[in-house]
Amino acid sequence: MRQELITFAFAAVIFLLFIWRVRGGYACGMMQELVNVLSGACALVCVALVLIAVSSAANRSMHILTVCIVALVLLGICFKICRLIFTPLLAVGNISIVSGINKLLGAVLGAAEACVLAFLFYKVFRYFGIYLF
């Protein structure tokens, strides 16, 4: 009974996540969804690099600290270049003919994002020994 309850709760959360991301993707459009996903991934990489840099500074491992700082600078440069690329593309998404397609593709991208998040949640639960299915 407990296992079935956990499975049902997981399925309900995944369903709500799916609805939330599809609705958000439709509201924002595909280009804004790509920017959001890119920004989130960049933020996660930055956090990981900062944590590695702090731990390497605590261990007095200067070569790892140097690599982390260089990687953070390069990531910042790449993020600026991507911002320069996506700014005109976001403006094109506001054209009335392209807007409908942009919103539909945003919903599809939101669904794909929800599937990836569901897979990651499933893997995390499996790692901690919570078997859902």
List pLDDT tens digits, range 120-131: 988 988 888 877
**What is the per-residue pLDDT for 133?**
67
List pLDDT tens digits, range 15-54: 999 999 999 999 988 888 888 888 888 888 999 999 999 9
Whole-structure pTM value: 0.74
- Around Cβ 110, how many Cβ atoms within 10 Å? 25
List pLDDT tens digits, range 64-107: 889 999 999 999 899 889 888 888 878 877 777 778 888 899 99
Angle at 34 between CA 109 and CA 71, to 5 degrees: 135
